[in-house]
Amino acid sequence: MNSYLDSAVKSISELVRYDSSKKKRTRHAPFGKGALECLHAFLSLAESLGFETHDYDGYAGEVLFGEGEPFAILCHLDVVPAGSGWTKDPFGGAVEDGKIWGRGTVDDKGPAVCCLYALKQLKDSGFVPKRCIKLIVGCNEESGWGCIAHYREVATMPDEGFSPDADFPVIYAEKGILHIRLHFPAHKPPFTYFKGGTSVNMVCDFCEASTRSVDLERAESFGIEVRKKKLFFHGKCAHGSTPEKGVNAIGPLLRYFSDGCEAAKRAYECVFADIYGMKNLQDETGNLTISPNIVQYRKGDLQLVCDIRYPATLSEKDVYSYLKKFGVKYETLSHQAPLLADKDCDLVQTLLSVYEECTGKKAAPVAIGGGTYARALKHGVAFGPEMEGDEAVIHQADEYISVERVNLLLEIYAKAIEKLTS
């Protein structure tokens, strides 16, 4: 077992106790008090381990090790909202059954801590890097990347690096990410209230609506719970990039109201039924996915906020050409261009060799639908912490990271950093 394991487990548990999901901005906390406190705690930990740190106005932080051409390790300390369905305290940081439980253990506080202790391990061993390693921790990865925008304004982003915020063996490509809001005009709809979802990149796991009258048999056929004139559906949360792993709670209610409400019918046809075949767009990075994760009805307007992940060799214009077919107003909330690196470059091949050395498994670079800070670099890739066969816990209830995985990450990240900065 790694000699830094106990310390890393303790630090992960402590950081998880901060609810660092995006909250109301204050004068000194651009993403809310919890995110700022978590950032301060991480930087204080790094200082206690002997590293120089910088706090960039509460937006992001930085841990420095070495001198020379900069090399980035990009992590984030913010999390998505806890959501429902937990059997553990999402911000308790409990260490039980060989696991650390809580929101952010995998995404991405756990890997951030492992990278920090990997630096500590190298430092204590006498390793002197030939590059300036910048362990950068942002506080707004899950909801807009304002942290990265601010960092670019006040500091210098390295050209090369990796982000420990995805999968092993190494991610060479990430789909483009487009968040949009669709507006379906609803004149005198059969519902007076319609709402669901908490975050654009989390599959909606709960949706509710109020109506003037209820067709109980029809509601039950869609698995909808009825209480007087209120309708409820409980789904299953998942990451917005893998909607197939969840159960979207919005769809059943749209189907229920589609008989007699053109707005609901149209919304269901365009987004869930995919009548225009937008999900058929594909390349080596996979098919386009669309996950309608937030819904609300406001003054004659049924609004759907959707998380779209499109193939890396395509452009947002290809997506817009399909959205225009919907025939409704849409607005772009955010966009991140795809990541596509050369599979045979030194960065990819070095990380791949480290993974194979530490796990004994032969592997090839892969593409994902998720989006990481790696695309903030001119030459970046994503590297861990998840592996094929892992239980899907990111953005879901009862997120956890095993102590065994923490131990492996300490080894992998230390070796990777050493090879890439020697």
Nearest to 15 by CA among 34, 38, 49: 38
Verify whether residue 78 is a known catalytic residue: yes
Please state whether the peptide bond connecting residue 390 to the residue before it is cis, i.e. omega within 30 degrees of 0. no
Count CA within 13 A, CB hemisphere, residue 345. Answer: 16
Please identify which of the residues 78, 208, 307, 316 carries the catalytic annotation. Answer: 78
What is each CA distance from 192 to 52, 88, 147, 252, 301, in whole angstroms?
A: 56, 35, 38, 17, 11
Which is it for strands 166-167 and 95-96: parallel, antiparallel or unpaired? unpaired
DSSP 364: -
| Residue with token string 């030194």 | 346
What is each CA distance from 63 to 49, 53, 58, in whole angstroms?
A: 11, 5, 14
Please identify which of the residues 141, 160, 165, 307 carries the catalytic annotation. Answer: 141
Show Cβ contacts of residue 70 under 8 Å, excluding neighbours closer than 6 positions: 131, 132, 133, 134, 156, 158, 159
What is each CA distance from 129 to 89, 99, 126, 327, in whole angstroms?
A: 40, 33, 10, 56
- 117-122-125 Cα angle (round to 5): 125
Q: Rounded CA gap, 411 and 409, in Å?
A: 5
Provide the annotated active-site residues. 78, 141
